């Protein structure tokens, strides 16, 4: 297992009108909290319409991590940004369902490519009541 220093942050990359976050490690609670803060700050600062959180490298998703991801999606939506979670491992997806967890309000895509397509296809800003799923 690689040691991750206390100051390490998950990088957030801006690509055109999107922010892309790729999680390629076991998430500690500290990293999750830091990421939530960083994403919020970045959305505020840069002009984007979509957020993609790629979780293909995540080791497990327990209730804390799921809740944090859902929260990030909700926060982003309140700031006018749509969120897509991409690359969820099928075995982790199965585990989530068995636990009774659910990422309500957040769209999902098979991989980064389809996540980008999904965001490009749909209107950048959802108006009126709630976002279309």
Binding site for other proteins (CB under 8 A): 1, 26-30, 59-64, 66-67, 89, 91-92, 94-95, 98-101
CB of 74 to other proteins, least distance (A): 13
What are the φ/ψ torsions at residue 112 (nearest 5 degrees)?
Answer: -60, -40
Residue closer to other proteins (CB basis): 36 or 122: 36
Q: How far is the CB of 16 from other proteins (least distance, A)?
A: 33
Instruction: Quickly tell me which residue has 């009541």 as its tokens.
Output: 129
Least distance from other proteins to the Cβ atom of residue 100, Å: 6
**Residue of 9, 20, 76, 19 whose CA lies nearest to 48:** 19
Nearer to other proteins, 78 or 99 (CB): 99
Closest CA to 69 of 60, 16, 15, 122: 60
CA angle 89, 91, 97 (to 5 degrees): 105
DSSP tag of 63 = H
* Nearest residue (CB) to other proteins, 95 versus 114: 95
Shortest Å distance, C-beta 91 to other proteins: 4
- For residues 22 and 66, which CB has a smaller minimum distance to other proteins in the complex? 66
* DSSP type of residue 98: H
Closest distance of CB 63 from other proteins, Å: 4
Residue number with CB closer to other proteins (25 or 124): 25
List strands edge to edge, sheet with 18-22: 12-15, 18-22, 50-54, 82-86, 107-109
């Amino acid at each position: 297992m690689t040691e991750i220093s206390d100051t390490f942050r998950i990088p957030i990359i801006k690509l055109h009108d999107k922010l892309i976050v790729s999680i390629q490690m076991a998430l500690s609670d500290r990293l999750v909290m830091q990421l939530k803060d960083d994403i919020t700050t970045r959305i505020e600062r840069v002009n984007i319409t979509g957020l993609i959180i790629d979780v293909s490298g995540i080791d497990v998703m327990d209730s804390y991590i799921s809740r944090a991801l859902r929260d990030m999606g909700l926060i982003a939506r309140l700031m006018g940004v749509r969120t897509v979670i991409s690359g969820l491992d099928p075995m982790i997806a199965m585990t989530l369902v068995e636990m009774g967890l659910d990422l309500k309000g957040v769209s999902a895509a098979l991989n980064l490519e389809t996540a980008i397509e999904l965001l490009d296809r749909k209107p950048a800003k959802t108006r009126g009541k709630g976002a279309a799923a």
